[in-house]
Chain A
Amino acid sequence: MGNYDFAIGMGGAPGQGIESSGPLLLRICARRGIYAFTYSAYQSLIRGGHTFLTMRLSSEPVANHGDKIDLVIALNQDAMDKHLQNVVPGGAILYNSDNTKPEGDVPEGVQLCPLSFKELSNNSRNRIMLNTLLLGAALNMLGAGLEQLENILTIQFQRKGQAVVDENVGIARAGFDHAAEHFTPFPTSLPMQDKPLAVTTGNDMMAMGGAAAGVKFYCAYPMSPSTGVLHWMAANARDLGIMVRQVEDEIGVANMAIGAAHGGCRAMCATSGGGFALMTEAIGSAGMMEIPVVMINVQRGGPSTGLPTKTEQGDLWQLLGASQGDFPKIIVAPTSIVDGFDVIPEIFNLVDKYQCPGMVLSDLTLSMGYTNIDPDLIKWDQKIDRGEVITEDNDSDENYQRFKITESGISPRALPGTPGHVHVVATDDHDEDGVLISDEFTNPHKRRDIMEKRQRKMDGIMADLPAPTLTGPEDADLTLVGWGSTDSLIEEAASLLRAEGYSTNHVHFRWLYPMDEEKVNQVLSKCKRAIVVECNYTGQFARFLRGETGFKANGHIRKYDGEPFMPHHIVDGAKEIEAGKTELYIPYQEIVV
């Protein structure tokens, strides 16, 4: 079987049902073993405005929404007007001819597919069923049967009685049959693959990663685009024995997580940039009290309230500078939705070992993107290493010191409640016993010793973290450098560039901080010319990389319009930069909502 790669765009107003029919189509694909990645371009409104959901379907695992739209399902005139021009030649647009029609030029080779909802639904007043009608028609054009949709609709509406089931299945069939009669199907049919897949999102995967890591305390204040983590945790809390709390604000969230972590739980919380700003003082306190805790920041467009429903990689420096003073901390940026699961147990083992805060830097495209994945990629059986923890009285600790000065900087941590180990942890600096150095106990020598003890943990962390990955030919002329969520986009762009004769490879950063200069330069020193690709205005990562390693890129591709990169944006930028036309390329966003 050849590589199936097909993209559907669904456009309409929020409340018209895209939020349910999108996942419905995904589920149909999952049952057929078809991989998918979706990106929802939406606005911060519950009703009104415009939503455009791009669903890329593939016979191979896929981790971005790609470059093209083959089929648009337009639920209203707005969607027709905005997206008719986005359809590629050979593509089609489905719409309700009662109130929607193409205006202006129809692009060459695009099939217009009108259906009358009034006629095909016998004048039904249940307008939400327009979705189902168009979905039925789409399935026919994709060369898929109606069976899975009928099954899902039956299960979905069973509770409401047979009449509602019949009505919904009937309208799906009407769309399916109408398309069979009037429209030309796509030349390649939606394949049927052996292994059924699972439907998930980045937020769900990070929450599941937390569960697998043994998180027993999760708290949050709702904030887009991170709220999905809270929803998953809340839904599964009782089955998994996890304490979940919605807190009054993010200051409370961070401090509550720290309290729970001090009590012995693996504790986690998630927010977006604005909430993270409120958490920052607490992050320093976790550094000072040497309490392991994990905070997730799902980035959206900034600054300030910014773009609540749009993406950006604009919070890197916020994390790097989170909280006053110097203290050990770890920052990781998951590189895919599946990786969102994997990074959580990994960072928990590190923060437990080094007793410091850990930060996970996701973004809207990863966290809110739905995807179909092989369920076997979800590995529940994770290594859980709590580090040096004392939970029982033992005679050897007669003079227990919580912040004992050690060569590694790691001091065994006695959990509160343990007999014989009573101690105080403080956000003021303190000596080995936890006695405050401020106020009348100020002592520069003690301060220096304890500061050096804490910072020594950074050497261990750096030694434990791997170097960035290099994919593609090692001696390529051009290296695309990226971090976090853009991994598959850059990978795809590099492969497209190679196909056009550009010798290209790809260096990707997952662990961001602390950065080991030597380890990173071993990879980067082999690069001939490099372009840093990132989703922000000022080149936050390029500047950080230069500061930590002295590495200066030859060019930059940046995007800060709120929409994620598409692979061709990176390809076009690389070509312009390689042709010497510019050092900084800002791609033009074609799909606009």
Chain B
Amino acid sequence: MANDGKPIKAAPTAKDFKGSIAPDWCPGCGDFGVLRALEMACAKTGREPHDFITISGIGCSSNLPGFINTYGMHTLHGRSLAVATGMKLSNHEMKVIVTGGDGDGYGIGGNHFLHTVRRNIDVLYIVMNNQIYGLTIGQTSPTSRMGMKTKSTPFGSVEQPLNPLALAILSGATYVARGFSGDTKHLSELMYRGIEHNGFALVDVFSPCITFNKDNTFAFFKQRVNKLEDEGHDPTNMQAALEQAIIWGDEIPIGLFYEDTTRDALEDLEPVLQDGALGRKTDLAVTEEQGASIIKQMM
């Protein structure tokens, strides 16, 4: 096909997604691996940086949109999924990626998490789960283990951590995965499949905080993680997925827990999205016939 004389553009590489600002995370932070994995995953889709928008809340990991070369929104603490839902419905031709931490997504944003999951809107949600509040210098998080000592729980936490994967599976998520920032290649593949999945995709990532979490370190996860792919796990089996999701001990599973490709995404069920992105429409006025029909009902 002719290309109007324009030079043929090479397929994007991970480098094209590298942002101009260097991350300000602590040296050795798990989030570096997540960023790298995401750059690779975006490139693998063959799409251009302007086809993506990365949306985050507040926290160390929520600074990610500033470090990746895509459109970005750095929104309020806990609100990224709500903003992302509006953004996706406004321009569903774009790929929407949401990033944040465990406090942002499972704590202050917990209500939005539940409802975004059940809506099955087509976004990829990456939670850099470090089991601690880092930006506020070290308090307990919704995924901190029982007994964990932090600045806000000096005598050890007495609250049960929540299980994001089981919660997501039971709330109607159609793609639920867990990765480890120490295995970028594996993580990147989970992200890539999450981007291509039509529906809500959760990728929870063990992304250790080297400054404030002395329990859940790189070494802690490195020793324990084992890949579901190697275990012959069937991700279409919800019950098996839930069984894997509640395993926590000397072995901790990572990989794709659950995937349902039979359900429609929210966008597929909304007829008003059938002819193009709403936010790109220019014929906004109510037509004469539409107006007349509304008035008729009022008479």
Contact surface of A with B, Cβ cutoff 8 Å: 30-31, 196-200, 208, 211-214, 216-217, 219, 236-243, 245, 247-249, 251-253, 255-267, 281-282, 285, 289, 375, 378, 380-382, 384, 391, 415-428, 434-436, 439-440
Q: Is B71 in the interface zone, CB < 8 Å from A? A: yes
User: Which of B33-41, B76-84, B124-132, B242-250 contacts its partner?
Assistant: B76-84
Query: Of A199, A243, A255, which is in contact with the most chain B CB atoms at under 10 Å from its CB?
Result: A255
**Are A417's CB and B50's CB within 8 A?**
yes
Question: In whole angstroms, what is the CA distance A459 to B183 when docked?
Answer: 54
Complex CA distance for A245 and B86, rounded to whole angstroms: 9
Q: Which residues of A sit under 8 angstroms from B94, Cβ to Cβ?
A: 263, 416-417
Q: List 15 A-B contacts (CB under 8 A).
A: A197-B299, A200-B298, A216-B284, A241-B278, A243-B89, A243-B272, A247-B82, A251-B82, A262-B87, A282-B79, A384-B284, A422-B71, A427-B74, A435-B66, A436-B74
Check: B273 CB closer than 8 A to any chain A CB: yes
- Are B73 and A424 touching (Cβ within 8 A)? yes
Give the Cβ gap from A157 to chain B, nearest Cβ, in Å. Answer: 19
Is the Cβ of B298 less than 8 Å from the Cβ of A257?
no
A382 touches B295 (CB 8 A): no
CB neighbours (8 Å) of B293 from chain A are 239
- A285-B50 in contact (CB<8A): no
Complex CA gap A258/B86 in Å reads 7
Which positions 256-273 of chain B face chain A at CB distance < 8 Å?
A: 270-273
8 Å CB contact of B284 from A196, A214, A424, A440: A214
- Given the complex, which residues of B lie within 8 Å of A267, measured CB to CB? 86, 90
Q: Contacts A212-B286, A263-B277 known; A424 to B75 CB distance under 8 Å?
A: no
Q: List residues of chain A with CB within 8 A of the CB of B90.
A: 216-217, 243, 259-265, 267
Q: Are B83 and A256 in contact (CB under 8 A)?
A: yes
Bound-complex Cα distance A289 to B115 (A) = 25
Segment 166-225 of B: residues with Cβ below 8 Å from A: none
Quick check: A378 and B87 within 8 Å, CB to CB?
no
Complex-state Cα separation, A375 to B284, whole angstroms: 22
Query: Are B291 and A242 touching (Cβ within 8 A)?
Result: no
A427 contacts B75, CB within 8 Å? yes
Minimum distance in angstroms from A418 CB to a CB of chain B: 6
Complex Cα–Cα for A289 and B293 (A): 38
Other A-B pairs beyond A214-B284, A252-B112, A424-B71, 19, CB < 8 Å: A196-B299, A217-B89, A217-B278, A236-B294, A245-B89, A252-B115, A256-B83, A289-B73, A289-B75, A378-B295, A416-B94, A420-B50, A422-B50, A424-B72, A425-B72, A427-B75, A427-B76, A435-B21, A439-B63
Chain A residues positioned under 8 Å from B83 (CB to CB): 255-256, 258-259, 262
Inter-subunit contact B74/A424 (CB<8 Å): yes
Which residue of B has the minimal Cβ distance to A196? Answer: B299
Chain B contact surface mostly? helix
In this complex, what residue of A is CB-closest to B80? A255
> From A208, which residue of chain B is reached at the shortest CB distance?
B294
Smallest distance from the beta carbon of A377 to chain B beta carbons, Å? Answer: 10
- Nearest chain B CB to A147's CB is how many angstroms away? 16
Confirm or deny: B24 has a beta carbon within 8 angstroms of a beta carbon on chain A. Answer: yes
| B72 near A216: Cβ-Cβ < 8 Å | no
Q: How far is the CA of A417 from the CA of B290 in the complex (A)?
A: 30
Smallest Cβ distance from A469 to chain B, in angstroms?
Answer: 28
B65 on interface, CB distance cutoff 8 Å? yes
Nearest residue, chain A, Cβ from B272: A241
From residue A344, how far is it (CB to closest CB) to chain B in Å?
Answer: 12
By the criterion CB–CB under 8 Å, are A256 and B85 in contact? yes
Tell me the B83-128 residues at the A interface (CB within 8 Å): 83-91, 93-94, 111-112, 114-115
Q: Which of B50, B270, B299 contacts A375 (CB 8 A)?
A: B299
User: B51 near A: Cβ within 8 Å?
Assistant: yes
Considering only CB atoms, which chain B residue lies closest to A393 in the complex?
Answer: B50
Q: Would you call B48 an interface residue if the criterion is a C-beta within 8 Å of the partner chain's C-beta atoms?
A: yes
| Min C-beta distance of B182 to chain A, whole Å | 25
Residues on B with beta carbons closer than 8 Å to the beta carbon of A258? 75, 83, 86
B278-A216 in contact (CB<8A): yes
Answer whether residue B288 sits at the interface, using C-beta atoms and an 8 A cutoff. Answer: yes
> Is B241 part of the contact surface with A, judged by Cβ < 8 Å?
no
In the bound complex, CA of A415 to CA of B75 (Å): 17
Residues of B within 8 A of A217 (CB): 86, 89-90, 278-279
Q: CB-CB < 8 A to A240: which residues of B?
A: 286, 290
